[in-house]
Structure 1
Amino acid sequence: MSLKKISILLIVMLFIFSSSVLAEDAETSCSCQEYRQLKLTESRMEGNDIWELQRELKKLGFYDQQLNSTYNWSTYLAVKEFQKANDLPTTGVVNESIWQQIAHKLKKGEKITEASSDDLEAPEGEVFLLIDTYKKKMTVYSDGEPYHEFPVAVGKPSTKSPIGEWAIIAKDAHWGGGFGVRWMRLNVPWGIFGIHGTNKPGSIGTAASHGCIRMYNRHVKILYSWVDIGTRVKIIGKRDPIKITHNLRPGQTGKDVLLFQEKLREYGFDPGYTDGRFGDSTEKAIKEFKYIYGLQDDLTADQNTFYILNLK
């Protein structure tokens, strides 16, 4: 094969790989969009915001069908019933004003309040965040001691929040739209996820997002002032099963690497943070692991490695 053909083949392979990575990110990225007007159309509107609308109307007793993320006839009628019950124009159209009305009713009916944190001083020690997706709660630690708790919204069952040990790698004070008033990105290697405010305060305390962690806008402003780039964030909770289908090597990233790191830690080795990145700490851990178990002296996690770690 000529050098020209080899070059073309490599370019094609690189394009395919890049496209697959971008597609994966697109599927798993947080999609907390700005308000869009929801209404009944001939070509039915779909999206995570419609799923949230159905869920909140169901909690208020106006929607009794399955949540399906589609603005269908049942959703349209539920919106009209909500509008009628609250002396609003019965248009069947959902705009920002309707979202705010729904949030107000949820707060009133469920006694959801934004607990005042205005008088809190910033923690003096090193800040660490623990997010419990079971309890929908964030605990802020200062030098290893609990300092304050915030209610949060987490990923819904079909788009769970990323379980693992992450770091804040970017901050934006003017993100706007569905991300509320503040945005803090996490270094999850398989998508775009972060901690941010919300334009749907009624979702706080529930599993409603596309994977991101939502906070009340007044709370996220406080947290934003407490954390720096590099602040560690641990998310715990239930996740979908992870399969390892190939050997793992230094430099690779992904959910399979995260599972491998967790197993190394379980067996007494230190892979560093379980962040889905096969970096220096994970290299040291696999090297020690292979030495102790008498395996081939390299840095590849292969079938023998997976067998000993009970990774099938």
Structure 2
Amino acid sequence: MILIIIFGCTLTIFAIESGPTCDCGQLRILGLKQSRMQGQDVQELQRQLKELGFYKRELNLVYDWNTYLAVNKFQKANNLTIDGIVDEKTWLNLAQALDKGKSQEVASEKLKPPEGEVFLLIDAYKKQMTVYSDGEPYHKFPVAVGKPSTKSPIGEWAVIAKDAHWGGGFGVRWMRLNVPWGIYGMHGTNKPGSIGTAASHGCIRMFNRHVKILYSWVDVGTRVKIIGRRDPIKITHNLRSGQSGKDVLLFQEKLREHGLDPGYTDGRFGDSTKKAMKDFKYIYGLKDDLVGDENTFYILNIK
């Protein structure tokens, strides 16, 4: 079994069967127009082209003539249609070109899968994923995590869906986590320059070549834990079995701090949390109703 720990893209909620729908910074189709296109996506394009040696000017946020010429040169060098239009195919080729130049990791065919029990630790502070095998560090990958306004979900999750053919503007591979308040996952990126930063809408971005390696190591059911900085959580109502959300996650954390075992801190009030709640109420002589109420929150120091 593989266990993964992640720190750190929210997405609109859809059923798993509908496939991943990620809002992780989707880019416009860029091109040279009479009314010049401007924005951070243009600057990201210029930055990538400059790193690859195709763009020689200063970054200026404007899709101008010099940017157009640089795009044409890149498209010609990579056997793409030479039209100066930056669509998903061009973004993906840019990502792949940068992956080849920047990544110092061993190629996937030379990096053997971990043989022991595996878990992943994704540290939102360090922007790094560490793969453990039988409790020992096995390999590390740099990642991008959620930006301050859209932090990655902190907690202990599981992989509930995988898609090997997911690509387009977001790079390759998709592994979804069972976060109850949104769709979050790990995937490749068309923004390799964001790796090592807090830049996503909450998802974990990886270099495309790295996420291909990870994908082969992860199964549906793999446990995932995410640690990092998060926004304050308030509990505004009683908590009961069957509920889910950030308030339940906080409740689970507090039960664990008091020496009880609520199971995974996954924001779901299930059987393990019910057992911890039963033990808690017995210890403190509270009514055995399995309801998190004002008395419970007071003892757990939840404000």
TM-score range (shorter-chain normalised) is 0.7 to 0.9
The 2-side partners of 1:174 and 1:24 are apart by: 20
- Give deviations 1:249-286, integer Å, cap 9, x for gaps: 00000011011111111111111110000001100111
CA contact (8 A) 2:69 2:84 kept: no
Structure 1 residue ranges without an equivalent (≥5): 1-22, 64-74
1:1-312 correspondence to structure 2 within 5 Å: 25=13, 30-32=22-24, 35-38=27-30, 51=40, 54=43, 62-63=59-60, 75-76=61-62, 79-80=63-64, 83=67, 86=70, 95=87, 99=91, 112-118=102-108, 119-312=110-303
CA contact (8 A) 2:89 2:169 kept: no
Q: CA deviation at 1:236?
A: 1.1
CA contact (8 A) 2:46 2:67 kept: no
CA contact (8 A) 1:130 1:138 kept: yes
Match of 1:297, SS state, is: coil
Amino acid at match of 1:220: V
Q: CA deviation at 1:34?
A: 5.9
Q: CA deviation at 1:62?
A: 2.1
Return closer, same or farther for 1:266/1:105 CA change in 2, 3 Å cut-off: same
- Give deviations 1:176-215, integer Å, cap 9, x for gaps: 2234221111000000111111122222111111111111
TM-score (norm 2): 0.76
The CA RMSD over aligned residues, in Å, is: 3.5
CA contact (8 A) 2:99 2:209 kept: no
Aligned residues: 269
Amino acid at match of 1:248: L
Match of 1:211, SS state, is: coil
TM-score (norm 1): 0.74
CA contact (8 A) 1:139 1:148 kept: yes
The 1-side partners of 2:295 and 2:152 are apart by: 31
The 2-side partners of 1:230 and 1:286 are apart by: 25
Q: CA deviation at 1:81?
A: 8.0
Return closer, same or farther for 1:32/1:286 CA change in 2, 3 Å cut-off: same
CA contact (8 A) 1:114 1:216 kept: no
Match of 1:305, SS state, is: helix
Match of 1:283, SS state, is: helix
Q: CA deviation at 1:99?
A: 4.8
Structure richer in helix, relative to its length: 1
Structure 2 residue ranges without an equivalent (≥5): 1-10, 15-20, 51-57, 74-82
Identical counterparts, % of pairs: 69
Q: CA deviation at 1:103?
A: 6.2
